[in-house]
Each structure stands twice: as structure tokens, then as C-alpha cells.
Amino acid sequence: MSALRLEIRAADPSCSARTGLIHLPHGTVRTPAFMPVGTQGSVKGILAQQVRETGADMILANTYHLAIRPGDETVAKLGGLHAFMSWPGPILTDSGGFQVFSLADRCKMTEKGVVFSSHLDGRKFELTPESAMHIQENLGADVAMCLDHCPKLPAEKEEIDAAVRRTVRWARRCREAHTKPDQALFAITQGGPHRDLRERCAEELVAMDFPGYAVGGVSVGEDREAVHEALRVSTPKLPWDKPRYLMGVGRPEDILVAVEHGIDMFDCVWPTRNGRNASCMTFEGTVRLRNAAHKEDTRPLEEGCPCVACRNYSRGFLRHMFMAGEMVGPILASIHNLTFLQRLVDQARQAIVEGRYQAFSRDLLAKWST
């Protein structure tokens, strides 16, 4: 079978929003889709079954971190990521390119690839386009990502141009090295805030005919308007019949804007990181559980939410868990935030089908801004 097939079910005539299904070897993903992040083989603090119960179809894991520990060969011997994580559905693995940005003080880049000084023990670890493909094939994800050069912003245009050129060269090497027929390989567009670089990068990568494309180089130091501008420039250059993935973006406001521009897939640590810090999102706005106003509050986090936190516990109980330093608080808050994002993209899908996506998005954004 083909490693990936995109089936577009509906498109909103008033904008570029679309909804459909991505068919992959381990299952079908409803789009727009939010992928919880399981960097080291687990969504932090949450069991795989609990992640599934939030409504997630697909999750993400990280090439760099899993190659460092426990090692991709070990994961392969344990049955691949699906068995290793006890996650039967589709999985996407990042290439490790983001760590070139996030661990910039621990790596050295050459045309061959990147040499990291491990954040665990300092040992040298080399990641090249070819080894990134080998590692991701060992991990066995449904979707693998090309190794790219993600520059930190702000940066001079010449530096971003060099990153774009390297990203294209590395994408070609990834394509040549990739051998797993039941794994789809996505290319990543770069270009920072520069329209001409974004357009050129997208055009050159599209000419290589990858199964899917990502918009990269966002959430790396730029403001929100710069992220939205990257979408306005990049997305129209990407094929209509291929999945479009916005990397590292998961704030509800940004998801709504990105869907309007035709993005299909998202990932971010936002829901679990905020949950661990007692911040929970609802359709009425943010609830900060450490606030004393919740001390005797008998209400759930959100009426009508099907998550285990909202079905069983009060805001007062959840606040107590955080104030007492109990693990249950961050776990339940994380589950709620993950469930919220799945409800958000589910409602977005329905709004697209009904041709009212812009009104749906506009109403929520107005509510959250007050």
C-alpha cells in the first residue's frame, strides 16, 4: 500500500481551510489534526491510552532524543516506536533539526551535518541527512521528516538564505537516503520572515515531489504576526493534494489562523507544559488554577468537556493538588488541555464542512481577546 494518501472531504469556499483524512499504515488521521508531543517516547506524564482518550489520532516523537537515549537500534529491537510506546495509531518523528536551534550552544554545523555534544553526558553525536533517515526508519514512524537547518531569529537575511539553501540540499540527500516504502517523508520549508526566500524554498522542495510538506522556522524567536505572514506566503506554494504541517505551533489562537490558511497538521508542547503550570484553556478563556478564587469552586474546569478532569473533579480539588504539590494536578490539567485542543480541531472540522469556518474562528478569537 502507499505510505500516505490524503483525502480532502470539504473546503470552506470563503478561505483556504479544508478538512479530510490522511490515510497512513497505522490508521487514519482526521484533519485539521493536533499531534501531542511525545519527545522521548511518552507524552509527558500521560499514558498512551489516556492520550487516545483525549481524541488524538496521531502523536509525535523526536529523532535526536530517542537516538541519544535509549538508541534507535534499541527501539527497533523492542518492536519499533508503536510497540515501544504502546501507541497503535500513526506516529510522526521530527528529524532533530529543531535541536540544531534549541541546542545551538551544544552543536557544530557543517555541510555534512551536525555534531552535537549530548545534553546528557557530553558525548559526541553526529546527525546527517543520511543518519536522520536511518534512525527514523529504525524507529518505524508512519511519517519521517527531512533534516533541515532552522536558524534562530532574528538573523541577517544572508544567514537565513544560507539556511534555505542548505535545507534544500539536505532534503535532496534525505530523499536519496530514504528507503522505507511504508514511511512517508515530509520536506520542511524555511525562509524566516522573507517572502522571496519562503517562496523559493517551497518551490524547490515541491519540485522534488515529497509526500507532504511542513512550514518550519516558526516559533523560533519571531512575533505572532511573523508566523502568520510565513503562512500567508508559504501555504499557497504547497500542493493542494499533499498534507501541510505547521511545526511547533499549538496555541489555540495560532491554530485557528493557520487552519484558515490551509494547514492540516500541528504539534506543540503547549497543552502539557501549560497544564504542568496550572494553566488550562477553555472555550471561555484561560483558567489559572492557582488563583485563590478557585479555592472553594465546585465547578469543573469546563462544563461539557468529556475529559477525566472535568467529569470527576472540581476546580477546588485541582487547585488543592497544585498547591499541595501533588502529581495528580499537572496530569489532570495536561489531559484537559490535550482534550481541549482535540475538541477545538473537531469543531473546526465541522465548521469547515458547514462553510462557516471564518465566523467560527472570528467568534472564538474575539472571545479570547477580551
Active site residues: 94, 267
* DSSP class of 292: G
Nearest Cα to Cα of residue 195 among 216, 226, 167:
226
Contacts 24+ apart (CB under 8 A), 277-283: 278/319, 278/322, 278/329, 278/330, 278/333, 279/333, 280/333, 280/336, 280/337, 280/340, 281/252, 281/337, 281/340, 281/341, 282/340, 283/340, 283/343, 283/344, 283/364, 283/367
In a 3-state reduction of DSSP, which class is residue 274? helix
| Alpha carbons 244 and 293: distance in angstroms, whole number | 42
Q: What cell was used for 49?
A: 491510552
Across the strands, what pairs with 115?
A: 108, 126
What number of CA atoms fall less than 13 Å from residue 22's CA on the CB side? 30
Largest distance between two CA atoms of the chain: 61
| Alpha carbons 218 and 88: distance in angstroms, whole number | 30
| Alpha carbons 356 and 66: distance in angstroms, whole number | 42
In a 3-state reduction of DSSP, which class is residue 78? coil
Please list, in sequence order, all residues whose beta carbon lies within 8 angstroms of the beta carbon of residue 29, skipping any fewer than 6 positions away: 21, 22, 57, 58, 90, 265
| Alpha carbons 287 and 302: distance in angstroms, whole number | 9
Rounded to the nearest 10 degrees, the angle between the axes of helix 195-206 and helix 224-234 is 40
